[in-house]
Structure 1
Amino acid sequence: MVTLGLLHWIIFPLPTDKLHRPLSTFVYSRDGRLLNCFTSSDRFWRKPVPLERISPNLIRSVIACEDRWFYWHPGFNPVSLVSAAIDNLKAGRYVRGGSTITMQIARMMEPKPRTIPNKLIEILRAVQLELTCSKKQLLEIYFNLAPYGGNIEGIGAAAYMYFDKSPDTLSIAEAALLTAVPSSPSQFRPDRDPKTCLNRRNRVLRYLLDNDVISRSDYEQALTEELPHRRVAASVTAPHFCQSIVAARPGVPEIGSTIDFKLQTTCEQLALGYHGELMQKGINNLSVVIIDNRTGDLLAMVGSPDFGDVANHGQINGALAPRSPGSALKPFVYALGFEKGIISPALRVEDLPANYAGYIPVNYDNEYHGVVSVGEALIQSLNVPAVNLTSGVGLKEFHDLLRRGGLTTLNRRYFEYGLPLVLGSGEVTLLELTNLYATLARGGRYLPVRLTKEDAIAQPTGLLTPEACYLVTEILTELKRPDLPASWEFTADMPKVAWKTGTSYGRKDAWAIGYNPDYTVGVWAGNFSAEGSVAIVGAETAAPLMLDIFSQLCADGDRQWFPRPKGISTREVCAVSGQVAGDDCPERILEPYIPGVSPMEPCAIHKKILVDTRTGYQVCRWCDDKKHTETRIYEDWPPRLAAWMASKGIISLIPAHNPQCRQVFAGDKPVITSPEDKAVYIFRPSVPLQYQKILFEASSSADNRKLFWFLDGQLFSTTERENRVFYEPKQGSHQLMCVDDYGRSSSIIFQVQ
Structure 2
Amino acid sequence: MPHFLHLRTLLRQSLAWLRRHPLRGGLALLLTLGLLADQLFPLPLPRNESAQVVLASDGSSLRSWPGRDGIWRHPVAIEAVSPLYLEALLGYEDRWFHYHPGVNPAALLRAALQWARHGHIISGGSTLSMQVARIIEPPGRSLGGKLRQILRALQLELHFSKREILGLYLNRAPMGGIVEGVEMASRMYLGKPSSHLSAAEAALLVVLPQAPSRLRPDRFPAKAQQARDKVLKRMAELGVWTPAAVEDARIERVGVNPLRARWVAPLAAERLRQLYAGGHAPLIRSTLDAETQSTVERLLLDRVEQLPPRVSMAVLVMETASLEVRAYAGSADFSDAQRFNHVDMVRGLRSPGSTLKPFLYAMALDEGLVHSESLLSDAPQSFAGYEPGNFQANFSGPVSVAEALQRSLNVPAVDLLDRLGPQRFAALLHNGGLPLRLPAGSEPNLSIILGGAGARLEELVGAYRALAAGGLSGQPRLTPEAPRIERRIMSEGAAFIVRDILETGGHPDRPFHEGATHRLAWKTGTSFGFRDAWAIGVSDSHTVGVWVGRPDGTPNPGFFGANIAAPLLRELIAALPAGPATPRQRPASVSTATICWPLGTALDATPAEYCPEKRTAWILAGAIPPTLPERDARPGLVETAWINPLNGLRTSPACQPSAQTREILRWPAHLEPWLSPARQSVLEWDPACRQALGVGPLRLHGIASGARLRATPGRREAELSLHASGASGRVYWLLDGALLRPASTDGNLLLRLSTPGEHRLSVVDDAGRHASAHFEFRRD
What's the TM-score bracket when you normalise by the shorter of the two chains?
Answer: 0.7 to 0.9
Task: Judge which range, 507-516 or 252-261, deviates more.
Answer: 252-261
Change in CA separation of 1:225 and 1:424 when aligned onto 2, cut-off 3 Å: closer
Alpha-carbon distance between aligned partners in 1 of 2:395 and 2:222, rounded to the nearest angstrom: 79
User: Are residues 1:397 and 2:424 paired?
Assistant: yes
**Residue in structure 2 matched with residue 126 of structure 1 by the alignment:** 153
Q: 1:633 aligns to what? A: 664
Separation (CA, whole Å) in 1 of partners of 2:640 and 2:552:
61
Q: What aligned pairs does 1:5-404 form with structure 2 within 5 A after superposition?
A: 10-16=39-45, 18=46, 20-25=48-53, 27-28=55-56, 30=57, 39-40=66-67, 42-77=69-104, 80-81=107-108, 84-85=111-112, 87-88=114-115, 90-115=117-142, 118-168=145-195, 170=197, 173-207=200-234, 223-228=250-255, 235-249=262-276, 251-279=280-308, 284-351=311-378, 359-365=386-392, 372-404=399-431
Q: Name 2:611's counterpart in structure 1.
A: 586
Partner of residue 540, structure 1 = 563
CA distance in 2, matches of 1:636, 1:168: 73
The aligned residue for residue 530 of structure 2 is 507
Structure 2 distance, partners of 1:497, 1:57, is 46
Aligned residue for 1:300, secondary structure, equals strand
For the residue of structure 2 that corresponds to 1:25, the secondary structure is: strand
Give the aligned partner of residue 7 of structure 2. Answer: 3
Matched to 2:611, the amino acid is P
Q: Given residue 80 of structure 2, which amino acid in structure 1 is its aligned partner?
A: R
1-structure distance, mates of 2:310, 2:98: 66
1:472 to 498, 513, 535: 498
How far apart, in 2, do the equivalents of 1:87 and 1:360 lie? Answer: 95
**Code of the aligned partner of 1:563:** Q
Matched residue of 1:589: which SS? strand
**Can you list the C-alpha shifts for 1:693-739, whole angstroms capped at 9, x where unaligned?**
xxxxxxxxxxx9989xxxxxxxxxxxxxx99699xxxxxxxxxxxxx
Q: Secondary structure at 2:536's aligned position in 1? A: strand
Identity of aligned residues (%): 33
Whether the 8 Å contact between 2:429 and 2:489 is mirrored in structure 1 is no
Please list the CA deviations of residues 458-500 of structure 1 after superposition, one character each: whole Å capped at 9, or x if unmatched: 264322101111222233235599xxxxxxxxxx999653222
Partner in structure 1 of residue 543 of structure 2: 520
CA distance in 2: counterparts of 1:705 and 1:183, whole angstroms: 95
Question: 1:131, CA displacement in angstroms?
Answer: 2.0
The answer to whether the 8 A contact 1:239-1:307 is kept is: yes
Rounded to whole Å, the distance in 1 between the matches of 2:566 and 2:62 is 27
Q: Which residue of 2 aligns with 1:715?
A: none
Query: TM-score of the superposition, structure 1-length normalised?
Result: 0.74
Contact preservation (8 Å) 2:333, 2:339:
no
* SS class of match (2:448): helix
Change (3 A) 1:108 1:3: same
Can you list the C-alpha shifts for 1:508-551, whole angstroms capped at 9, x where unaligned?
11112222333323222223342223311222222223234444
What is residue 678 of structure 1 aligned with on the other side? none
Whether contact under 8 Å (1:309, 1:315) holds in the other structure is: no
Look up the SS of the partner of 1:407 in the other structure.
coil
Q: C-alpha displacement at 1:425, in angstroms?
A: 1.7
Q: Secondary structure at the match of 1:311?
A: helix
- Superposed displacement of residue 339, structure 1: 0.7
Q: Displacement, 1:272?
A: 3.7
Of 328-337 and 387-396, more deviation after overlay is shown by 387-396
Task: Work out whether 1:563 is the aligned partner of 2:563.
Answer: no
Change (3 A) 1:648 1:324: farther
Q: Distance in 2 between matches of 1:71 and 1:366?
A: 81
CA apart distance, 1:433: 1.2
Q: Where do 5+ consecutive residues of structure 1 fail to align? A: 482-491, 665-703, 708-721, 727-739, 741-753
2: CA distance between counterparts of 1:366 and 1:272? 34
The whole-number CA distance in structure 2 between the counterparts of 1:366 and 1:287 is 29
Distance of 1:551 and 1:204 partners within structure 2: 47
CA RMSD of aligned residues (A): 4.4
* Residue equivalent to 1:612: 644
Instruction: Note if contact 1:347-1:578 (Cα within 8 Å) is conserved in structure 2.
Output: yes
Query: By how many angstroms is 1:153 displaced?
Result: 1.1
SS of alignment partner, residue 543 of structure 2: strand
Offset of 1:605 from its aligned partner? 0.9
Deviates more, 1:419-428 or 1:499-508: 419-428
Amino acid at match of 1:22: S
Letter in 2 for 1:547: R
- What is the alpha-carbon distance in structure 2 between the residues aligned to residue 554 and residue 166 of structure 1? 24
Change (3 A) 1:354 1:510: same
Aligned mates of 1:645, 1:410 — CA distance in 2: 38
Q: Is the 8 A contact 1:24 1:44 kept in 2?
A: no
Cα 1:127/1:532, change in 2 over 3 Å: same
Deviation per residue, 1:321-362 (Å, 9 max, x gap): 222111111111121111111222222345566666655544
CA distance in 2, matches of 1:596, 1:171: 65
Looking at structure 2, the residues matched to 523 and 224 of structure 1 have their Cα atoms a distance apart, in angstroms, of 45
1:598/1:205 Cα in 2 relative to 1: closer, same or farther (>3 Å)? same
Residues 274-304 of structure 1, C-alpha deviations (whole Å, 9 max, x = no match): 444444xx78333333322222222333444
Q: Structure 2: any 5+ residue segments left out of the alignment?
A: 9-31, 508-514, 630-635, 694-725, 730-742, 748-766, 768-780
Cα distance change of structure 1 residues 647 and 174 upon mapping to structure 2, 3 Å threshold: closer
SS at match of 1:336: helix
Contact 2:360 2:425 in 1 (8 A): yes
The C-alpha deviation readout for 1:362-417, integer Å capped at 9, x for no partner, is 44455566654333332333333323333332333322333334335637779444
What is the TM-score normalised by the length of structure 2? 0.71
Distance 1:260 1:72, change over 3 A: closer
1:734 corresponds to? none
Report Cα offsets for 1:647-694 as digits up to 9, x if no partner: 999857566799999xx9xxxxxxxxxxxxxxxxxxxxxxxxxxxxxx
When residues 516 and 230 of structure 1 are mapped into structure 2, their CA distance, relative to the original with a 3 A threshold, is closer
Q: What's the CA shift for 1:147?
A: 0.8
**AA partner of residue 594 (structure 2):** E
Q: Contact between 1:144 and 1:155, CA under 8 Å: does it hold in 2? A: yes
Inter-partner Cα distance in structure 2 for 1:575 and 1:599: 12
For residues 213 and 618 of structure 1, the distance between their equivalents in structure 2, rounded to whole angstroms, comes to: 106
Secondary structure at 2:349 match in 1 = coil
| Amino acid corresponding to residue 633 of structure 1 in structure 2 | I
Shift of 1:585: 0.8
Closer/same/farther in 2, CA of residues 164 and 76 from structure 1, 3 Å limit: same
